[in-house]
Amino acid sequence: MRFSRIFLSASLLSLLTVALPAGQAHACSCMLGDAESAFTDGKMVFHGEVLAVSEDRENWQKSVAFAIDTVWHGPAVNGMVIQTGLDSAMCGMNFEVGKEYTVVANSNEGQWWAQLCGQHYADPETGEGIGPEQLVADREPLVMNEDLSCVPHVCQDGSMHPACTQDGSQINYFAEPCHMSGGPIEEEPENEEIPGAIGGDFTDVPETHASFEAIMWARQNGIVEGYADGTFRPKALVNRAEFTKILIEAYGINTVALCRMAEFPDAPMQQWYGPYVHAARCQGVISGYPDGTFRPSANINYAEAAKIIANLDSEAELDVKDGAMWYLPYTDYIKEHGAIVSSIRDVGQYITRAEMVELMYKLLAKPISEGETSLTGRIERIERPAEDIAYDFVLVLDTPMRDPLSAMGPWAMVEKVVLVYTNEILFEDFDDYVGARVTVEGQMQWGYAESRVFAVEAIAVE
């Protein structure tokens, strides 16, 4: 179904008169509306929870899927997709996933639109500005149609499809609406993730799961934790606050020694995610939205996730070329480092817990393989375990590698490898390099019980 769209031009916005309630200043300024005008034809007044938000940056707007519990005017349905401007400069509203709102929406060309200028009215008695909550305080809600489900279809790639028409009639799709979009998002139980609930296998991540290896690696390394009921919930979406926290912890970024940059107004330090978001901002890996917010509760899409993780992982600054899309340096970085997740097919697709872990796994957990020819790290001298064993040195790897042949499982990590020499002259060289950061050239081998052995042919100081 193709949606019609309407836009407010910059010139029209500049003509709107400032008349908002105290504390409601926005780039889009509006006149106070007559309270009764919210309940005329072509209007819908409802209360509901935001299920998903999909941004269309090219057209400066976004779609918002609501699960509705109360309607005071308009079709008495339990769900709806509405449109709004991308940000407050376009009179858009900042809806966050999981939060509840009372909204006044306007009908336009077969769609419902909610804009800032439609949410502020003059109190009939005092003339002061009031919002939708005060507007409906003394009104009786309509009787909901319990035989009709209009909750929008929200898909894995972030797209959404209305279940009902604007007037509340059921839409009968010829095929499942999310069939070409990765399937529908499945609701997850609302149990809180419990730190430390990581023992044993996750009941919803069998060995046949596509992300089993990545999830086990993340669990063993303390990157993610399970829920009290023993699940991991791989299909659950990840919001911007959760993703930032997990990445900051995984990369060992200090959240105490913070910079003097201002906090995001919607990510204060007293919130559990505040220090992580601020640390990421200090590191230059996030910048927030044009309206100055971070939107911690919004689901994170692939483009946004790629920017955060690529900025953290890259040693060099990633710049956007003139005329290029803002996300290309980051998605290209992911591609160049072999970290593409096959289930992610679009930059706007919201990512799941499994996809988040898979992305981190491919960047952080480089697999060690027989035949590896170059390693970088610091040489340490060790005590030879026996006179007939010809090694005295190990290489402490700069980046630990996962060992698919380990008895602990394919997600086990290798932090050191034993160095063996191919001739006595090279053995003497080892002594010269103890404590130095070096690159060794040679051949990865297996042997000596669980020790991983690297036969060195050449050494170079970094």
| Domain residue limits, the chain | 10-161, 212-364, 374-461
Confidence of residue 226 (pLDDT cuts 50, 70, 90): confident
280 pLDDT more than 80? yes
Across 19-28, 159-168, 202-211, 316-325, least confident range? 19-28
**Span 10-161 CATH architecture:** Beta Barrel (2.40)
pLDDT reading at 450 higher than 70: no
Q: Alpha-carbon distance 10 to 278, whole Å?
A: 32
Describe the crossing of helices 328-336 and 302-313 by its angle, rounded to 10 degrees.
70
* The predicted structure's pLDDT at residue 14: 33
Res 3 pLDDT > 70: no
- The band of 11, judged by pLDDT with boundaries at 50, 70 and 90, is very low
Identify the residue with better confidence: 407 or 71. 71
**What percent of the chain is modeled with pLDDT above 90?**
12
Residue 341 has pLDDT above 50, yes or no: yes
Residue 7 in this model has a pLDDT that exceeds 50: no
What whole-number distance in Å separates Cα of residue 367 and Cα of residue 360?
A: 13
Q: Tell which wins on pLDDT, 26 or 212.
A: 212
Dist CA 302 CA 308 (whole Å): 10
Q: Where are the beta strands (DSSP E) in 316-367?
A: none
The first and second tokens of residue 345, run together, are 């097919």
Q: What are the beta bridge partners of residue 446?
A: 452
- Mean pLDDT score, 305-321: 85
Average confidence score pLDDT of the chain = 77
Query: Which tokens hold the place of 370?
Result: 């027989």
pLDDT given at position 153: 85
Specify the range with the lowest mean pLDDT, choosing from 176-190, 203-217, 256-270, 440-454.
176-190
The per-residue DSSP string of 340-356 comes to --TT---TTPBPBHHHH
Mean pLDDT of 57-62: 79
Would you place residue 162 in the very low, low, confident or very high pLDDT band (cuts 50, 70, 90)? confident
Of the ranges 109-123, 143-157, 202-216, which is most confident?
Answer: 202-216
pLDDT exceeds 80 at position 39 = yes
Residue 57 pLDDT more than 80? no
* Percent of the chain scoring above 70 in pLDDT: 77
Question: Which one of 196-205, 233-242, 254-263 scores highest in mean pLDDT?
Answer: 233-242
What's the CATH number of domain 374-461, 1.10.132, 2.40.50, 1.10.10, 1.10.3470?
2.40.50
Residue 446 has pLDDT above 60, yes or no: no
The mean-pLDDT minimum among 20-24, 95-99, 322-326, 420-424 falls in 20-24
Contact call for residues 294 and 266 (beta carbons, < 8 A): yes
- Residue 19, pLDDT above cutoff 70: no
Confidence (pLDDT) at 82: 92
Residue 197's pLDDT band (boundaries 50, 70, 90)?
A: very low
For residue 11, what are its two tokens?
């010139």
Span 347-382, pLDDT tens digits: 889 999 999 999 988 888 765 555 567 888 888 877
pTM recorded for the entire structure: 0.46
Q: Tell me, what's the pLDDT at 189?
A: 42
Is the pLDDT confidence value at 111 over 50?
A: yes
Examine domains 10-161 and 374-461 and report if their fold is the same.
Answer: yes
The per-residue pLDDT for range 229-256, each reduced to its tens digit, is 788 888 888 889 889 988 888 887 877 7
User: Which pLDDT belongs to residue 155?
Assistant: 81
Q: How far is CA 81 from CA 107, 117, 219, 276, in A?
A: 12, 19, 37, 32
Using CA atoms, how far apart are residues 195 and 222, in angstroms rounded to an integer?
10
